[in-house]
Structure 1
C-alpha cells in the first residue's frame, strides 16, 4: 500500500514536482464578480494577473467543499493507497476543516490530515519534507509525527509591493495596511504558526533584496543543506537578482523558483518576492 500525498493549490507546488511525485492537488476557487475559476485548473497565474489588473472589484477566494475532498480521497483509496493530506493553515482558510470533515465522512483508517500552519512557500517546504519521507519508505504515522515535529521550523517571509490586497481579504487590519502607502514603504511579512504579520518595513522596492540578504545573514541560516524556495508575483527580474545575490554567498544546496498562483496573488497582489525553507 503506497502513500499518496494530497495538497491544495495554495502551496503553489511546481507542476514538475506534482507530476514527478504523483501528488493530487485539490484547487481552491478564485471569484471575479460573477465568474468563478478553479485555481491552477481553469485559471493560470498569467491569466489571473491580467484579470486582476482589469478588475474593478478585488476578487475573492473560496475553499474546496468537503465533497471535493471526499472525491479526491476516495480516488486515492480506490487505487489501494493511503492518503496523506497537507493543507494550508487552518487559521487562514477553512480548507483544512473541509478536508477533516471529508475524512470523517469517509471513515477510513487510511487517511491522515496535516495542518501545515503555513501557506504557499511554507506549505511547499513541508510538502517537500513529506515527499522525502515517503521516498524513504517511512510509515504514514511516522511521517505525520515527523511533519508535526518539524513544521514549527518552517521559515517563510515575503516582501510585498502593497498591503491593500491582504487588507481587502481580511488578513490584515486597515491600520496595518495603511503603512504600505506611506512614503513608499514596502512591508515585509512573515508567516509563522498560521499567523501573517508585518515584521519590517523597507523604503522602496529596490531595497527588498538587500533586506532579504541581510536577514539571512543576521539569522545565521545554514542553507548549504537546504532546498530554498524563491517565489515571485510578476517580478521575476527581482527574483533573479535575489538568486544571484544569495546563491553563491550562502552555498545553497538547491533552489526552486515559482510564481505565486491566483489564490495567493489575490491576497498578495503583484510585485511580491518571497523566500522559504525548512530550518530543521
Structure 2
C-alpha cells in the first residue's frame, strides 16, 4: 500500500495493523488515493482538507467573521474565492465506491459516473467530526463563525454542525438553517459572506443572513423526477401528475425548507423558455434581482435562461451561473435547471 500511493503525493504516514490501517498524505489527487486504497480493502472514514485554503487563511491577518456552508450550496467558484467561503462537503456513494462532494469528484465526473455505473448514488451528511475540524481551525483565525446549511427536514447536516458546536464551548459560532438548497443556499451564503468580507460584526452578519433567508426563493425544473422521488424529496404523486398531464413541474421550497410544487406549465419541448415565462409571471417585475442559476450538464440552456429573463421583463442587477454539485445532482438528475432570486442590494 505504501509503495502504491507514494507516487501520488508526499508527507505520507501509514500506521496500524494488517487488519486496520490509517493513512495520511498530502496530495493533489485525493480521489486517486481513495481508488488505490480501495483495492487493498474496505475504505472508510475518508477525510479531505484543502491545505492551500488553510495556508491562505493562516497567512492572512485575523478577521472578524468566517462564513461556512455545506456542499449542497451551489456557488460560483469565483465568489467562493472572493468572499472567503468555507465548505464542509457531503459524501456520495455508488455502491461501495465513495466520493467527497466537490473535492474528489467534479460535477462533470459525477454525471459520467451516473451514466455508466449500475448503482444509483446515495448521499450522506458530514459527520460532527468534519464540522469540528473546520470550526476548530477557523476559530484560531477568526473571532467568530456563521454557519449556514441545508434544511433540517432534508438532511442531518445541520444536526452534525450543531453537535460539533457543542464540542467547542469557547468558540463563538452561530449555526443557521438556510431553509434552502443548491443555488438558493448558495445565494444566501454569498450574501452573508460578502457582509463578513466588508468587516461587519457577527451580529450584523447573522442579521444579513436571516434577511437573505427570508427574501431568497428558488425554482427548479427537473427533466426526470425518478431520482428526486426515489430519494424521498418529493411525493410520487408529483411524477404521476407530470407524466399523465404531460406538464413540466416547477419545484420550490416552503418557508420551513420542504420541497413543494410551485406550479406547472406546458411545453416539454422547451423547458428553458417555459421556466423563464413562468418565473416572469410569478415575480414582481418592479423589483430588481440578483440571480444564481445552476445546471446539470446544461450550460447553454443556463446561459439561455439568463438571457430570456430580462427579455421577459425581469430587472436583473447581476446573474451568476454555476454547475449543480454532485449531491444535488444525485437527486435532480441530468438536464435540470435551478434558479434562485433575491432582491438586489443584499448581495
Alignment TM-score > 0.5, same fold: yes
1:1-280 → structure 2 map (5 Å cutoff): 1-182=63-244, 184-193=246-255, 194-222=257-285, 225-248=288-311, 249-279=313-343
Report how many aligned residue pairs link the two structures: 280
Q: Measure the CA separation in 1 of the matches of 2:277 and 2:77.
A: 31
Tell me the distance in 1 between the aligned counterparts of 2:165 and 2:82.
Answer: 26
Q: Say whether the 8 Å CA contact 2:91–2:101 is kept in structure 1.
A: yes
Check 1:243–1:197 CA distance in 2 against 1; reply closer, same or farther (3 A cut): same
Q: Secondary structure at the match of 2:191?
A: helix
Structure 1 residue 57 displacement after superposition? 2.8
Check the 8 A contact 1:159/1:186 in 2, yes or no. yes
Task: Pick closer, same or farther for the CA change 1:173–1:4 going to 2, 3 Å.
Answer: same
Distance 1:112 1:256 in 2: 27
Give the structure with higher Rg (CA). Answer: 2
The two structures have a TM-score, normalised by structure 1, of 0.92
How far, CA to CA, are the matches of 1:93 and 1:245 in structure 2? Answer: 34
Unaligned runs of 5+ in 1: none
1:127 and 1:251 map into 2 onto residues whose CA distance is: 22
1:197, CA displacement in angstroms? 1.4
Contact 1:222 1:250 in 2 (8 A): yes
Q: State the Cα distance separating 1:73 from its structure 2 match.
A: 0.3
**Is contact 2:251-2:261 (8 Å) kept?**
yes
SS at match of 1:238: helix
Shift of 1:220: 4.1
User: 1:7 touches 1:25 (CA, 8 Å); kept in 2?
Assistant: yes
Q: How far did residue 66 of structure 1 move?
A: 0.3
- 1:156–1:192 contact (8 Å) kept in structure 2: no
5+ long unaligned stretches in structure 2: 1-62
Contact (CA 8 Å) 2:83, 2:190: kept in 1 or not?
no
Asked whether the 8 Å contact 2:292–2:320 carries over to 1, the reply is: yes
Distance 1:124 1:162 in 2: 23
Q: CA RMSD in A?
A: 2.0
CA deviations on 1:12-67 (whole Å, 9 max, x unpaired) are 11222112222211100011001110000001001100111112231100000000
Confirm or deny: 8 A CA contact 1:224 1:253 kept in the other structure. Answer: no
- Quote the offset at 1:166 in angstroms: 0.7
The question of whether the paired residues in 2 share the 8 Å contact of 1:186 and 1:202 is answered with: yes
Q: What CA distance in whole angstroms lies between the structure 1 residues aligned with 2:244 and 2:325?
A: 27
- Report 1 or 2 for greater relative contact order, CA contacts < 8 Å, sequence distance ≥ 6: 1
Partners in 2 of 1:220 and 1:200 — Cα distance? 13
Measure, in 2, the Cα distance between the counterparts of 1:196 and 1:202: 18
State the 4+ residue runs in structure 1 displaced beyond 6 angstroms.
none
